Structure 1
């Protein structure tokens, strides 16, 4: 028996505000300190993206057509692991399901199977007392569906709402809250419904406004009491490892399309592939010019390539790499958006060209559940296998392929070969794990037609920089500042600190009469990252962390990947070590090549995102650095400025991995010196043995606790969004001026402005971080901190006047 408080948020019909209310409730409850999991009835993939933004967990779907009725409760429990509350958003009207299925796959069907109480969201904008009749009818229609409360949406006035509430008294259902008309919290739409959260820079801000309104206008305590009335569930959580197995000991890479153009895949798909012995690495077809290292399989899921056709078309290097991969026989699974992307073109814009077909937009919407049959033995199954799925698109692909992927109602659809599957049909692999197993087996068996392993070379130490290390490696951005200069040199967020953080710091002064104890801070940080308290070591900033690591062991061959923050070099030298440098190549955008690190290196230190390049290294590339006998240190001082902290290793409990974090930058508190290390208890014990007693101040402890709360994480998300928006002002301006810069993930941009540019800009009143003190860079580069748009535009105007920059 499993106790899981839960509610279904349903409505009499589409358009009443289910998504708005359900997502807002998730966000408000998370901000109130609850661990919430979000679920969506039906196949929809846009709403779960908003759920993920609200909860910090992957959005999950519950659809009996796609996965079978018997898997609904196990999948609910899988998605709710570690959560103390589940919110399930319904689909269409409460009793609307599969056409001709008498309510099969409806919200009511899922609520009944999962034994979940239902809260109705009702749009009252065009009625008053009649709302009571509508609600009473919903209650009486199927007594097995337990409706427990009502939320009124789009009320015109308090008087209007009062009339509805009075009429609803006869139903016996409590009114949990009233929301007024507010177009400011409605997500924008386009041809296939809401714009996905991943495509909206303002999504986090909109969610904050929504959460505030929900918390103010809905009785969350009463709603929680109703959620706790849900009966215990007699089932075990779904386990991917019980559905599939690994056919080999090595872990080949499956490259999974992501980014703004490919926003949809069911979370269980990745879980199944990992359980089947594959490493899944997300790549962005809009921005990445190459596939992830070691790719042996391609998963191209759903999304909107028709919206981003120009950007996808412009990335010719990746299109060519994908075409060659598919042509080589690399196992490839493409559905809907992936199908379009593999065509020769979409609405005339060149695409990958792996399929001899064209895709064009049409005015007709295709939206339907399907049951498909595998026509011949192929990548997805054996002949005669029946599969359920759904279609959702406004495009057509012509001509059809002679080798079909499916038979739907006797009609061949899609494209297939022994190594390729491409069609419009979306399938949920948790309902058909054999697809995942067959695909994983093919990935494990894939052998590249041409061996293309990179040549091994160990980069020499940068003699020019090493010789100047007494000054260069110790040079920091604050050394650039002088009175009268506009600061683009120091990587400290230029927004004011939140009032709650300042309050926590002021209150901490009351405790300075006692020796500081970081225990509470370590517990707060552990909860924030899903770690155990003994896997957290509080430090006086990242600098102390590097010093502790340098002194922890008699390192034989320490390596620092450069260009990057020089403090690790300084710490290693102070401890008597001579680190080697592995230099990333500016010609390929300073991308990490793990094969360049010497095999016998016992300590490898790297930043992510890296200072000063602002490059975000993929998780899989960092994982390739790990091996027995080697400690890998990842400096994530700027990871809290990356949306969703993607590619962070903070949650990975590897015994030879240390992740260093700093609170200095995002929270604008360089004078507090607050940071921490995440790692195994054994490794952290080695560091702590070299830590001075009471090195972490009372103020730093207060800052750690304050910035680990749900309120802080919500504020961090807002700051991260603003940083991205402000960074785009800078990078767009540099592009317009023809100034080469490295694609940036952090709150700073590395730009190549030419010899003497640093000093010329300084004379013009701007402090920028010189780059020649970083190994691997020279004085033609500068690092530019992200600032507010007005300040940035002043710099860009000066660059325009002072140019050209070469």
Structure 2
């Protein structure tokens, strides 16, 4: 079956002839004359289709044999022009200019030949007269496979010049447009300014349409368009290129967005993100997803129910200040990416995910910085997938284009451990570029998914899998594509169905609440076995900041020398406003508690419970009999200083306390001080408290020792870095007990980095994110009438009932059993705060357990 489609191509001898202005003006003039006009652009360009859409009221489309293959060009033309009276195709560069070395491949002439479309030339005659005739004649005869059917003279001068030019041309002259700078679109370092950034664009188009109507014979132009032959190809159909899950295939188009069966993909838009192909959205919708636009300049939150992120191209470097100012959205995006939300980022999207662009803070989801470069990168490559990732499979080839003046440092993911930056996304011309994991794909390369629909399919599959997290999510960092389960924090996936731990060669962990050989030594990391959603460990779930990773890597250059804690202790002192002799760097908080236990022959050491058990264990190991003082559940686990015996010469208390999350007022802790008594305050989770309200770290109170750890907030449990703050004589005594060189070079470097100004800012952002996640968890528990303790930390103590800890493990969720904390029974569990998708999964599982019990 053939299709009748009036159409013409607008071409030129070279760039700069006014092709875009005339093509857009023709679309606007024909639209205002009552015709349905479909606008198309030869090549990969995003900007011109934006003007086409503004002029025609329909989406602008691209026709590019390099990006989509020769056989898809005409079907895409027919698809985009469905229901139109006429299709206008704007060319690229000169009529016969295509991919370098490709003999005109992907040129305007190539597309005109593939679509059998007559060509209308736009020629700038401002600097020539009769020579224009020779140029037109050459273009008409250079390739007999195309038909140059008419010409429009642009930037015309005097009537005499126009007459001279007309007399030299042997094909129909369809119009003459005079010089008028008001009709030219402004330029930028990459080309034209997008239509979405020109507030006056619509008004300018009205003037342009009026001018073109007066200057061009539109009737003759339409007759020329009608001379185009019928097309035998079938229109491109996104539904034939991808598949939707069976559960969505029979749904009606008016279903509510964000339903579990039609997960939401948040697609960046607005003035900073204008570059994306219309067919991308059509493919994702055909694959069973709902695409919802959001504006990173204006929206402070992602669309409700976001299960995927698509960050296309644009000019984030131009809007850097405004993007930086929208901190709430940047924080939410960083959290979403860290939480495993499938994310595709092309060019501008890559820059937005970086830590900074020209020193303006961006999202920080990738440990990468970006900066403007004097060199324009412009290429039309074939790219090879560098490894298995969200979009690619090792060795697969795709076609694409790059067009940017920025560079990233590093240029590509590297290293055996893909977290957090991932492996390289592509190899282009022998060089690795971009960043990719099983949940993130970010690079400079633009691809047209109509030419590579498997990319859209894989992304949509990953989004569906993430949205179905109630059955597939297995840890605190997200789900993977194709319905497989994420097995570790680096995005590695299993090769098949889930197997019991014992069958995979791992030591199974007890799933019950029975007795343990040493309850005081039981920690949450023991419970977070592979294959379980980890809500047991309190380590921050997002990636480490790039400045911390850099410090850790750089420290390896110094491991040939014995370590020194001097620089770390000076940095801590400056951070808290203390003197260096009031600081002792330690191998984590555990070493600090061991040193304190050995400092003196304590007569009556007291540990305020429930709290972190390591101080209690360290005291017993040093031969001390520990007296417990219990904070009572009926009092909300609030500290009562009067409950501590007067004779106690050592008192250990947490603030905020692990596992209750209770933040004791600083005054209540001060009231524990007595002559001859040492009060040890474990502030391992004080970073989570906005403004560190209640902290005694900066006070320098006599008789008070403050212990800090970098493990939790900075996600470096393997580094073992911490410190304590106390009076100089106490620090000196503890240092004498310390094993030489116990603080490694890497731990010292981490301490310096985590007490910097950048760390202070990042700590505040993390505290804010944790507070938001905690609010979701506490609200969910309250809705289910599950008793819990109001927390100021990165965990919540909840009384879920006996047997629920084991039942949750059987359902694939690890929470920290709390009966190993003195003062708590098996009805309590400690739940680590995680991003909302994991929290919702936990709450849904609790609902299921409740239903099963009832």
Does structure 1 retain, via aligned residues, the 8 Å contact 2:339–2:477?
no
Compute the displacement of 1:450 (Å): 7.3
CA distance in 2, matches of 1:368, 1:230: 33
2:385 pairs with 1:377: no
Cα distance in 2, alignment partners of residues 295 and 255 from structure 1: 6
- Contact 1:248–1:444 (CA under 8 A) maintained in structure 2: no
Maintained 8 Å contact 1:343/1:353: yes
Query: Which position in structure 1 is the counterpart of 2:138?
Result: 137
Q: 1:423 aligns with which of 443, 448, 462?
A: 443
CA shift at 1:243, angstroms?
0.3
**Bigger-Rg structure (1/2):** 2
- 2:123 matches 1:122: yes
Q: What is the rounded CA distance, in whole Å, between the counterparts of 2:160 and 2:199 in structure 1? A: 37
Q: State the distance in 1 between where 2:465 and 2:362 align.
A: 28
1:330 aligns with: 341
User: In structure 2, what is the Cα distance between the partners aligned to 1:175 and 1:362?
Assistant: 44
2:210 corresponding residue in structure 1? 212
Structure 2 distance, partners of 1:450, 1:29, is 55
Q: Partners in 2 of 1:110 and 1:129 — Cα distance?
A: 29
CA contact (8 A) 1:98 1:104 kept: yes
Match of 2:175 in 1: 177
Deviation at 1:305, TM superposition (A): 0.1
In the alignment, the residues of structure 2 paired with residue 294 and residue 40 of structure 1 have an alpha-carbon distance, to the nearest angstrom, of 34
Quote the residue 2:188 is aligned against: 190
- Alignment equivalent of 1:445, drawn from 461, 465, 468: 465
How big is each residue's C-alpha offset from its partner over 1:364-386, in whole Å with a ceiling of 9 and x where there is no partner?
A: 11111010111211111221111
Counterpart residue number, 2:75? 74
1:294 aligns with 2:305: yes
Cα distance in 1, alignment partners of residues 431 and 437 from structure 2? 18
How far is the alpha carbon of 1:411 from its aligned partner? Answer: 1.2
In 1, Cα distance between equivalents of 2:321 and 2:39:
33
Match of 2:406 in 1: 395
Name the counterpart of 1:522: none
Cα offset for 1:167?
1.5
Conserved? CA contact 2:126–2:157, under 8 Å: yes
Alignment partner, residue 280 of structure 1 = 291
Partner deviation per Cα, 1:718-749 (whole Å, 9 max, x = no partner)? xxxxxxxxxxxxxxxxxxxxxxxxxxxxxxxx
Using the alignment, how far apart are the partners of 1:339 and 1:96 within structure 2?
A: 30
Q: Is the 8 A contact 1:248 1:277 kept in 2?
A: no
Map of 2:426 onto structure 1: 406
Number of the residue aligned with 1:148: 149
CA distance in 2, matches of 1:393, 1:382: 25
Q: What CA deviation, in whole Å up to 9, does each residue of 1:15-37 have, x standing for no partner?
A: 00110010000000001110000
Given the two structures, how large is their TM-score scaled by the length of structure 1?
Answer: 0.55
User: Please, which of 230, 247, 252 is the counterpart of residue 228 of structure 2?
Assistant: 230
CA distance in 2, matches of 1:413, 1:248: 36
Q: Distance in 2 between matches of 1:409 and 1:16?
A: 33
| Residue 354 of structure 1 pairs with residue 352 of structure 2 | no
Unaligned runs of 5+ residues in structure 1 are: 453-806
Conservation of the 8 A alpha-carbon contact between 2:130 and 2:168:
yes
Runs of 4+ in 1 over 2 A off after TM superposition: 447-452
Please state if 1:15 is matched with 2:13.
no
1:26, 1:334 → 2: CA distance?
32
Q: C-alpha separation between the residues in 1 aligned to 2:99 and 2:77?
A: 21
Q: Provide the C-alpha distance between the structure 1 equivalents of 2:433 and 2:387, rounded to a whole number of angstroms.
A: 13
Q: Distance in 2 between matches of 1:73 and 1:268?
A: 14
The C-alpha deviation readout for 1:443-471, integer Å capped at 9, x for no partner, is: 0001377799xxxxxxxxxxxxxxxxxxx
- Structure 2 equivalent of residue 259 of structure 1: 270
Aligned pairs for 1:491-530 within 5 A:
none
Match of residue 58 from structure 2: 57
CA distance in 1, matches of 2:437, 2:245: 22
Could you tell me how far 1:247 is from its partner in structure 2?
2.5
CA distance in 1: counterparts of 2:434 and 2:237, whole angstroms: 31
State the secondary structure of the residue aligned to 1:101: coil
Superposition pairs of residues 399-798 of structure 1, within 5 angstroms: 399-400=410-411, 401-402=413-414, 403-446=423-466, 447=469
Structure 1 residue 277, shift from structure 2 partner: 0.3
Instruction: Give the secondary structure class of the aligned counterpart of 1:58.
Output: coil
Query: Contact 1:39/1:87 (CA < 8 Å) preserved in 2?
Result: yes
Q: Which residue of 1 aligns with 2:551?
A: none
Q: CA deviation at 1:157?
A: 1.4
How far does the alpha carbon of each residue in 1:493-526 deviate from its partner, in whole angstroms, 9 at most, with x for none?
A: xxxxxxxxxxxxxxxxxxxxxxxxxxxxxxxxxx
* Structure-2 separation of matches of 1:210 and 1:363: 34
Q: Which whole-Å CA distance do the structure 1 matches of 2:110 and 2:195 have between them?
A: 28
1:371 and 1:387 in contact (8 A); partners too: yes
Checking the alignment, whether the CA contact within 8 Å between 2:340 and 2:477 is kept in structure 1 is: no
Conservation of the 8 A alpha-carbon contact between 2:343 and 2:439: yes
Measured in 2, the distance between the counterparts of 1:94 and 1:225 equals 22
Structure 2 Cα separation of the partners of residues 26 and 439 of structure 1: 35
Cα separation, 1, equivalents of 2:244 and 2:144:
46
Contact (CA 8 Å) 2:70, 2:114: kept in 1 or not?
Answer: yes
Find the aligned partners of 1:257 and 1:387 in 2 and give their Cα distance.
23
Provide the aligned C-alpha RMSD in A: 1.2
Partners of 2:443 and 2:158 in 1: CA distance: 49
Between the aligned partners of 2:67 and 2:149, the Cα distance in structure 1 is: 28
The aligned counterpart of 1:27 is 28
Residue by residue, what CA displacement relative to the aligned partner does 1:236-284 show, whole Å, maximum 9, x if unpaired? 1100000001125300000000000000100000000000000000000
How far does residue 84 in structure 1 lie from its aligned partner after superposition?
A: 1.1
Distance 2:350 2:245 in 1: 28
Distance in 2 (alpha carbons) for counterparts of 1:36 and 1:320: 42
Question: 1:410 deviation in Å?
Answer: 2.0
The residue that corresponds to 1:574 in the other structure is none
Residue-pair matches, total? 449
Q: 1:362, 1:203 → 2: CA distance?
A: 29
**Do the aligned residues in 2 keep the contact of 1:7 with 1:116 (CA within 8 Å)?**
yes
Q: Secondary structure at the match of 2:154?
A: strand
Aligned 8 A contact 1:45 1:265 in 2: yes
1:163 Cα offset (Å): 0.9
Q: Are the aligned partners of 1:334 and 1:422 in contact in 2 as well (CA < 8 Å)?
A: yes
CA–CA distance in structure 2, aligned partners of residues 269 and 295 of structure 1: 17
Contact kept in structure 1, 2:383 and 2:399, CA below 8 Å: yes
